[in-house]
A and B are shown apart, each in its own frame.
Chain A
Amino acid sequence: MSETVLHQHKWIDVVKYRWVWFGLSLLLIVPGIVAMAYNVVNSPNHSPVKVGIDFTGGTITQYSVNKDVSNSEIEKLRTKLVNQGVENPVIQVLKTNNTISKAENLNASTIISVKTAFKSNDIKAEQKIGDVVKSDYPSAELVQVSSIGPSLGKELFVNSLYALGLAFLGIVVYLSFRFQVDYAVIALISLVHDALFVLGFFAILGIFYNVHIDALFITAVLTVIGFSNHDTIVVFDRIRENSRFLAKKATFPEIVNASVNQTLARSINTSLTTLITLAALYLFGGETTKEFVLAMIVGIAIGTYSSIFFASTLLDWWRERQESKKGARA
């Protein structure tokens, strides 16, 4: 077969295998949806993804210590805290990759994190926690306190949902304006596809590793949406351009195939460079942004997949249905 603008031998025929991609997408998304449903039923606040104090309100106090902390020690600490009148403390031990306090040569390897309910203007709880931790671990150093009131948490949550909704709307309006409405709707569907996957992924992490999402997570999802949309637009832009010049020569599926393949190197390379920077952030960056970065890594990977295989084939499938409807009417 000759090499033409519409066909080169090394190209992948994305349109031909569209049911494979649709199936794969289902396979990727369904476990997350199951996990979210499981969380809705089982978690105390019926949230599909486990939410942290940013949204529920609460206080987390973290101390770094320079030795390992065993489970029995955690239990002991808990009892002591309860005896001191700290209500329902949830203690977690986090491992750090030891660079914390390197400057001070403390080599603190472990962080003790105590979660309690939010107490406005009550400094005593904080001091009690400090006193108890320091009595067991004299070297303990206060690393971080974050405290959010429950009403503020609720407000943050509602604002985050607004932000998500507005972002979706903004993108659809912009795309309808620059492209056509069906391009915009399909771009939106593939964004929902990506957002669902990331949410599902964290729902699963929540079940197995007790990962809670925070306000930064919403930022990550929004960034992923922006980025994935980036990819989808590049492919759609090429389809638009090719349609303009090749509409009489080629069928729509051929145009879609050509467009996807022409932009393939770009899609993969861009995601690769972004994933490289994110991996650097994940491996070497600050502890506090780790989950945020993970959410973006997962999101950008799925966003690349969806723009290459899902959005383009969905567009083709949609156009095919429209055509056959028209044909049926005529």
Chain B
Amino acid sequence: MKNKKLMFWMIIALVIVAVVIIIKKPTKLGLDLVGGSRIVLEAQTTDTIAKITPDMMSSLQFAIENRVNALGVAETVVQQTGEKRLLVEIPAISDPAKAKEFLGETAELEFKKPLDGKYGATGWAPTGLTGKDVKKALISTNPGGQWVVSLEFNDKGTKKFGELTSKMVGQSMAIFFNGEMQSAPTIQEPILGGHAQISGGDSGFAYEEAKKMVDLLNAGALPVPAKIIEESLVGPTLGADSIAKSKTAGIVGIGLVMIFMLLYYRLPGFIADIALIIYSLLVFAVFKVVPVTLTLAGIAGFILSIGMAVDANILIFERTKEELKAGRTLFTAINAGFDRAFTSIFDSNMTTIITCVILYFLGTSIIKGFALTLIIGVLISMFTAITVTKNFMHLLFGAGQLKHPGWFGIKQSEIGKAYEATETKKEKAKFGILD
């Protein structure tokens, strides 16, 4: 009995800790709940890049991080998934199209010289001067009032640019951005100061266009081209709606299950209900500690685990009822109920865990979320449905005979009717006789 009381206080302490965690720690909500954009980029091999190396991936990640930061949105995530993929998460984004446009661009800046020596009617040849030689880009206006992009070269770039312009006086030098010619001014005199300007040709740049180019140049070009292979965007209203709906579904679901348990299993059902509340608190606390990012599928996994959590209690209570009907005392009936139900509970939960582990490792992020919440749920339910319920039942019922069979939802007349066979079993088994 002393152990039981100690256990009881430990459970209470655990619940208090869980409540404190739930109050103190914020919940991490997934993008499908808060709204936002989730983009998966895949590095592409080209003629010159035969294999994507881990080094390339980390510099790609760096470049993408710079670009995402340039969007000025808080709490963005850039993370490598698999060998050549990057996952980008941008919550609460106002202009998703812009973000998308921003991420996929290689942002390759190239200075080219004409093949025919004058304007390049027959084509353009590389000069070796590229965006890598640019130290800084700025947006400014030219005397004509048009938006232009001002470039400041680094030391190497300044030298290269000076040599090129010295050689190319009277010729055109074309500036290509992402393979598209922006302008091809004629060089009047050598430029040695390390500054250059890109105007948007005759029509000039729109402000947005110039701004984007500046941001991209400052963030750096991508070391390898990257393609968007997956995108999901959730508007903020849908996210808010999903949260509200999940709350309703969760409360209605738990509520109905609790009512059912109370009506069908009476007093033990009431204990199971308390265990279920403890279960929910512990699960949420664990979600916050891990932390698990809650998504719609994750919430579905949690609500499903409620159904599974009471399963253990149903198994135990059904078994306890049988033992009571066989005429056992309360204490032994409760113990037997727990012991005998345990193998079923353990085996069935193990197979759920097996499927969840497989889902976790093979699934996409949505499925991972579902599997993770279900695994946590199943593990915690083993504790609450077995340890907590057993402890409460022993404390409540003590060790005496069952005086009020109605508490268990059985009739006095049913007791002692069945199970003569199981009753005799133990004594006989002592002498090696098996029924």
Contacts and interface: CB of A to CB of B under 8 A. Distances in A.
B229 A151 contact: yes
B359 A266 contact: no
A284 interface: yes
Interface string B307-349: 1101100110010001000000000000000001001100111
Given A163-B363, A223-B355, A284 B297 contact: no
Contact of B260 (A170, A263, A273): A273
B362 A270 contact: no
Closest 6 CB pairs of A and B: A274-B307, A280-B253, A149-B229, A277-B253, A230-B348, A121-B104
B241 interface: yes
A278 B303 CA distance: 8
B233 A146 contact: yes
B314 A143 contact: no
B367 A215 contact: yes
A245 B423 CA distance: 11
A284 B248 contact: yes
Interface of B: 32, 40, 42, 96-97, 100-101, 104-105, 227-235, 237-238, 240-242, 244-246, 248-250, 252-254, 256-257, 260-261, 264, 296-297, 300, 303-304, 306-308, 310-311, 314-315, 318, 322, 340, 343-344, 347-352, 354-356, 358-359, 362-364, 366-367, 370-371, 374, 417-422, 425, 434-435
Nearest to B257: A273
Interface centre among B248, B307, B363, B435 (most CB of A within 10 A): B307
A289 interface: yes
Interface residues of A, number: 90
A261 B234 CA distance: 49
Contacts of B425: 245
Contact of B232 (A141, A146, A237, A276): A146
Given A145-B232, A266-B318, A285-B245, A159 B97 contact: no
5 contacts: A123-B101, A166-B358, A215-B363, A248-B434, A273-B261
B364 A156 contact: yes
Contacts of B261: 273
Interface centre among A3, A106, A147 (most CB of B within 10 A): A147
Contacts of A123: 97, 100-101
B241 A278 contact: no
Contacts, number: 260
A3 to B, nearest CB: 5
A326 interface: no
A280 B303 contact: yes
A195 B90 CA distance: 37
A230 B352 contact: yes
A218 B358 CA distance: 12
A191 B292 CA distance: 30
B65 to A, nearest CB: 19
A292 B297 contact: yes
B60 to A, nearest CB: 15
A28 interface: no
A235 to B, nearest CB: 9
Contact of B257 (A4, A222, A277): A277
Interface centre among A245, A246, A281 (most CB of B within 10 A): A281
Contacts of A106: 237
Contact of B235 (A141, A174, A293): A141
B307 to A, nearest CB: 3
